[in-house]
Chain A
C-alpha cells in the first residue's frame, strides 16, 4: 500500500532522512520510533506531500507523490504534530472548510463531519471557537480533520504529545479503533505507546532505519539472554550457590530483601535454555518455597537503546 524507496532529504550538509526504504501493507498499524530529530517528521512530511524529497520515491497505492500528488493526498489523512486548526473558527466551521478542500461531496458532508466528531468525542464542542478549547480538544479536532474524506491511510505525528495521562489513554484507544479500518502510521518517541498500539515498528535514528520488524521479532533478536526474577522464602547463600550450580544458568545476583524473611534473586539463563522447572525442583528439595518467579521481558527501551547505540558506533 505505501512504498518508500531510498528516500533522502538533505538540509544543507545534514541528511535529515538518509536512504530510507520501507513498505507498509494495507490495514497495518505501524509505529515510527525515534528520538527527537531522528527524521520521523521529515519522512512523514515527504509522504504527505508537504515537502519534497531530495531523492528517492514514495508512493501510496501505486500513485507517486511527485507525479500524482493529488491522488496521493486524497488517500491520506494527516495529523501533524501541531494540529493545523484555525483558532478563529468554530469546530463546525473548521470541519466544513476541511471537507470542502478535501472535495467531500456536498451530500455526505454533514454526515461525515458528524461521524468524525462522534468518533473523537467532540460532538458537544462543535459550536465552540477552537481557540477556546483545551490542548486535548484541539488535538481531537485535528484528529477529526484527518478523518474527513475517509482516507485509507492515517499518518499521525506524535499524536499524544502534550496531553494529560487520561487523554493519552483515550487517544491511544482511538488509534487502536481506527487501526481496524485504516492503515495507520504513527510516530512517537514514547516507547510503550508504540508497544501498546502498533503491530510493527520502524526504528529510525539519525535519518536512517536501524530496524523494522514486528515487536515480537525485535524482542527475540535482542533477547539472547533470558532473565528471571525470583523470590525465595528464607533464602541465603546456599540458595544462591545451588541456583548457580544449575545447568543453563549463567549468573545469579541477590537483589536483597523486598519482603520480610525472603530474598530476591535475578537469574540470567543461557540462550533458549528453559530452567524454570529445574529451579523449582532444586528449591523444593532444599525446602525453600519459591514465592515468585517472573520472566523479565526485554522492553522496547532495551531494544531501542541497543539499536540506536550500535548505530552511534
Chain B
C-alpha cells in the first residue's frame, strides 16, 4: 500500500494536477477570505469555509479523474493486478494519496486563520470544528470521485461525471426544501452529503455526521474495489 501511495503522491506532484488543485483552492479561499473576513471585518472564518464548500465541485474531479481511469487506459493496471499485492491496498493507496494532496492544501490554507489571529480574535474552537467538517466532507467527495474514476475508462468522462454528481449533491439541500412529499424529502436528506457539513460550521462536532462521513467514504472505497474486481469477472 505504501508503494502505491508513494507513487501516486509523486505523480501528483510531477504532473500539474497537485499544483492546479492547490492553486485553485487557495485562490478561491483567498477570494472569499477577502470578501467575507477582510472587507466584512469579521473574524468568523467558518463563514468563508461554508462559502467555499461549493468549490469541491470544481477541484475534486481534478484530483480524482485519472486515479484509476488512467491506469486502465495505459494498461498499467495489468502490472498492479498481476503483482502480489491485494486490490484493496492498490485502491486504498490511491485514495490516501489523493487525501494527502488535500491535507497538504488544508495545511496551506491555515494561513488565513493565522492572519485572523494576528489582526483579531477568532474563535479557535469553532474554526477547528469547521476544519474537521470541511476535511470530512472533502474526504467523502474524494472517495466519490475515486469511485467515478473506477467506473470510467476515460479521465474526461470521469471528471465530468464527478462534477455532475457533486453539483447535484450541492444543490441537494435546496431541492429538498422545495419538495412537499415528506418521505421523498426524508430519503433525499439522508443522501445529502453537504447538509451535514453546516453543523460543523456552527461549531458542533457531532458524532452522527462524523460517522456518516467516515462510513460514506468507506462505502465509496469499497464500491471502487468491487467495481475493479467485478471487471475481472466481466463477460461483456
A254 at the interface (CB under 8 A from B): no
Main secondary structure, interface of B, reads: helix
Are the CB atoms of A12 and B81 closer together than 8 Å?
no
Instruction: Report the bound CA distance from A70 to B82 in whole Å.
Output: 9
CB-defined interface of A72-108 with B at 8 Å, one 1/0 digit per residue? 0110101010101111110001000110111100000
Are the CB atoms of A145 and B79 closer together than 8 Å?
yes
Of the listed residues B15, B77, B84, the one surrounded by the most CB atoms of chain A closer than 10 A to its CB is B84
User: How many residues of chain B have a CB within 8 Å of chain A?
Assistant: 26
Residue from the list B7, B84, B235 in contact with A70, Cβ < 8 A: B84
Are the CB atoms of A11 and B3 closer together than 8 Å?
no
Q: 20 additional contacts, CB 8 Å, given A84-B76, A103-B85?
A: A12-B236, A48-B82, A49-B82, A50-B232, A51-B233, A54-B235, A70-B84, A70-B86, A73-B82, A80-B75, A88-B14, A93-B10, A98-B79, A98-B83, A101-B3, A101-B79, A101-B83, A101-B84, A102-B84, A145-B79
Are the CB atoms of A76 and B82 closer together than 8 Å?
yes
A262 at the interface (CB under 8 A from B): no
Given contacts A51-B232, A86-B11, A88-B11, contact A101 B78 (CB under 8 A): no
Are the CB atoms of B82 and A78 closer together than 8 Å?
yes
B111 at the interface (CB under 8 A from A): no
B104 at the interface (CB under 8 A from A): no
A52 at the interface (CB under 8 A from B): yes
A–B Cβ pairs within 8 angstroms, 9 of them: A11-B235, A50-B78, A80-B78, A82-B75, A89-B10, A97-B3, A101-B4, A101-B84, A149-B84
B178 at the interface (CB under 8 A from A): no
List residues 184-222 of chain A with CB under 8 A from any CB of chain B.
none
B80 at the interface (CB under 8 A from A): yes
User: How many residues of chain A have a CB within 8 Å of chain B?
Assistant: 34
Report B54 CB to chain A, min CB distance, Å. Answer: 31
- Nearest CB to that of A70 among chain B residues? B84
Instruction: Report the bound CA distance from A124 to B84 in whole Å.
Output: 29
Given contacts A11-B236, A70-B86, A88-B11, contact A50 B76 (CB under 8 A): no
Chain B neighbourhood of A48, CB < 8 A: 78, 82
Given contacts A97-B3, A101-B3, A102-B84, contact A84 B79 (CB under 8 A): yes
List residues 278-312 of chain A with CB under 8 A from any CB of chain B.
none
- Nearest CB to that of A145 among chain B residues? B79
List residues 1-56 of chain B with CB under 8 A from any CB of chain A.
2-4, 6-7, 10-11, 14-15
Instruction: Report the bound CA distance from A297 to B92 in whole Å.
Output: 57
Are the CB atoms of B232 and A84 closer together than 8 Å?
no
B residues with CB within 8 A of A: 2-4, 6-7, 10-11, 14-15, 74-86, 232-233, 235-236
Instruction: Report the bound CA distance from A87 to B235 in whole Å.
Output: 30
Closest CB pairs A-B (n = 5): A100-B3, A84-B79, A73-B84, A48-B82, A74-B84
Residue from the list B10, B74, B75, B80 in contact with A101, Cβ < 8 A: B80
Given contacts A52-B232, A54-B235, A100-B3, contact A86 B85 (CB under 8 A): no
- Nearest CB to that of A99 among chain B residues? B3
A180 at the interface (CB under 8 A from B): no
Report A313 CB to chain B, min CB distance, Å. Answer: 28
Chain A neighbourhood of B84, CB < 8 A: 70-71, 73-74, 101-103, 149
Chain B neighbourhood of A102, CB < 8 A: 83-84
Given contacts A70-B86, A97-B3, A102-B84, contact A85 B76 (CB under 8 A): yes
Given contacts A85-B76, A86-B11, A100-B3, contact A50 B235 (CB under 8 A): no
Chain A neighbourhood of B86, CB < 8 A: 70
Chain B neighbourhood of A51, CB < 8 A: 232-233
Instruction: Report the bound CA distance from A101 to B83 in whole Å.
Output: 7
Chain B neighbourhood of A52, CB < 8 A: 232-233
Report A156 CB to chain B, min CB distance, Å. Answer: 13
- Nearest CB to that of A77 among chain B residues? B82
Instruction: Report the bound CA distance from A149 to B85 in whole Å.
Output: 13
Are the CB atoms of A50 and B3 closer together than 8 Å?
no
- Nearest CB to that of B2 among chain A residues? A100
List residues 16-73 of chain A with CB under 8 A from any CB of chain B.
45, 48-52, 54, 70-71, 73
Are the CB atoms of A12 and B235 closer together than 8 Å?
yes
Instruction: Report the bound CA distance from A12 to B2 in whole Å.
Output: 38
- Nearest CB to that of B4 among chain A residues? A101
